[in-house]
Amino acid sequence: MYVCSCFGITEQQVKRHAENGACTPRQIASACKAGTDCGSCVRRIQALLGRGACPRRESADRGASVFAATDTLDEAA
Ligand code: FES
């Protein structure tokens, strides 16, 4: 099912990016552009991320640093 119809991004693709370390809608946007056109999908992306799609989310919620993970993502982009 499509999450972002502007860029044809599916729920599975968003989950895969989350598994690879994208914990916020902005990081999902960096990975696949979802949410960067009309923006109507951002709330759905937030909902997906909030449902445990991102394994690092739990650490972030506990206050642990997730910056190492985002640094790695930026280098890969
Ligand atoms: S539906 Fe995702 S940016 Fe428009």
What residues contact 32, with CB distance under 8 A and at least 6 apart? 4, 7, 9, 13, 14, 17
What pLDDT is stored for residue 1 in this prediction?
A: 92
The yes-or-no verdict on residue 8 having pLDDT over 60 is yes
- Per-residue pLDDT reduced to its tens digit, 17-76: 999 999 999 999 999 999 999 999 999 999 999 866 666 655 556 666 555 555 555 554
Tell how far the Cα of 63 is from the centroid of ligand 1, in angstroms.
Answer: 30
What pLDDT is stored for residue 54 in this prediction?
A: 64
Number of Cβ within a 10 Å radius of residue 21: 19
What pLDDT is stored for residue 73 in this prediction?
A: 52
pTM of the model: 0.69
In a mutational test of the pocket of ligand 1, which residue from 13, 26, 37, 44 has the highest number of ligand atoms less than 8 Å from its CB?
A: 37
**Separation of alpha carbons 1 and 15, rounded Å:** 12
Higher-scoring residue by pLDDT: 9, 76: 9
